[in-house]
């Protein structure tokens, strides 16, 4: 079964992806946080994260977010210019700023813009595409309405997070709705949403290709392999700590990057609180040492 690691802005950057791949593994493809147009230009920060050198040896899929064919074309040009031949389109981001601009789950309300993107995909036969989407922004009728367009896209699969965009991450993922989409989608489908443990046995339905893990894998990065939590946390943390202290300046910048590693991790609340409250590297290291000595994981 295909296993993917979902992108989360501010958490799954190139450093984290590499560290997880090398220290843990078990993932077929790691998706980058979306590359976007900002102030009329492709955001340079995003392109640094998709730099092939930074991702060499890691099975990476760059993701883009676009409001229509023009933005999509410019983003594809930028990524193809870096040498990428595999691109994922985000039609699921629920954040209001992106939705209002007609991107992410907001794109599902504009079938005409999705058709523009479909035509742009067809003009690029050298690229392998996929789509990540929600049920809709306001109702699942929006997602079902654009499925004929998605069915005609040249895709390797469609990843569906079965919530509405307006829900963001509230409530629970609607697995019954996912199966309704499976019935009308001719593309192989990947399930994403609220998976906190490996559930591969549940997804043997026809046309279901695999699972995309997100917050659950950030919380328990060891869950796909037979490794002890302490072993995984220490190995990953050592590498992320080394990279942060070698490439960032000052305790504030370094701690900001390190705190992101711990924010979702499934460790006792008291231990996590001590780490997140640390304002100096010395106190941070003391708090981390407590976690690594603990037998509570």
| pLDDT tens profile 120-136 | 999 999 999 999 999 99
List the structure tokens of 194: 């609220």
Q: 32, exposed or middle or buried, with CB in 10 Å at 0-12, 13-18, 19+? A: buried
Sheet of 63-64: strand order equals 60-61, 29-31, 2-5, 208-213, 189-192, 155-164, 128-136, 86-91, 63-64
List the structure tokens of 248: 């960032």
pTM of the model: 0.96
**Average pLDDT rounded to a whole number, residues 201-216:** 83
pLDDT averaged over every residue in the chain: 95
**Average pLDDT rounded to a whole number, residues 151-177:** 97
pLDDT for the residue numbered 295: 59
Asked if residue 290 has pLDDT above 70, the reply is yes
Three-state DSSP state, 223 = coil
pLDDT digits 0-9 by tens, 224-282: 999 999 999 999 999 999 999 999 999 999 999 999 999 999 999 999 999 999 999 99
């Amino acid at each position: 079964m295909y296993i993917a690691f979902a992108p989360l802005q501010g958490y799954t950057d190139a450093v984290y992806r590499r560290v997880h791949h090398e220290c843990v593994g078990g993932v077929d493809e790691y998706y980058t946080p979306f590359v976007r147009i900002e102030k009329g230009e492709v955001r340079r920060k995003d392109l640094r994260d998709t730099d092939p050198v930074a991702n060499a040896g890691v099975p990476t899929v760059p993701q883009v977010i676009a409001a229509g064919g023009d933005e999509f074309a410019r983003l594809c040009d930028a990524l193809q210019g870096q040498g990428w031949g595999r691109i994922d389109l985000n039609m699921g981001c629920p954040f209001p700023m992106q939705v209002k601009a007609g991107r992410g789950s907001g794109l599902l309300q504009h079938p005409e813009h999705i058709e523009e993107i479909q035509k742009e995909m067809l003009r690029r036969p050298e690229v392998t595409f996929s789509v990540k989407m929600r049920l809709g922004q306001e109702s699942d009728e929006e997602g079902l309405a654009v499925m004929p367009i998605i069915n005609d896209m040249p895709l390797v699969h469609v990843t569906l997070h079965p919530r509405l965009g307006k829900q963001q991450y509230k409530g629970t993922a609607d697995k019954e709705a996912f199966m309704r989409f499976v019935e009308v989608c001719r593309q192989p489908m990947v399930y994403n949403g609220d998976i906190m443990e490996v559930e591969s046995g549940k997804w043997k339905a026809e046309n279901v290709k695999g699972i995309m893990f997100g917050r659950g894998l950030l919380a328990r990065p060891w869950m796909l392999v037979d490794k002890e939590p302490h072993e995984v946390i220490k190995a990953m943390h050592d590498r992320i700590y080394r990279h942060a202290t070698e490439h960032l300046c000052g305790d504030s910048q370094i701690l900001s990057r390190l705190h992101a590693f711990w924010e979702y991790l499934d460790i006792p609340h008291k231990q996590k609180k001590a780490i997140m409250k640390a304002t100096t590297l010395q106190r941070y290291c003391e708090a981390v040492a407590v976690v690594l000595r603990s037998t509570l994981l």
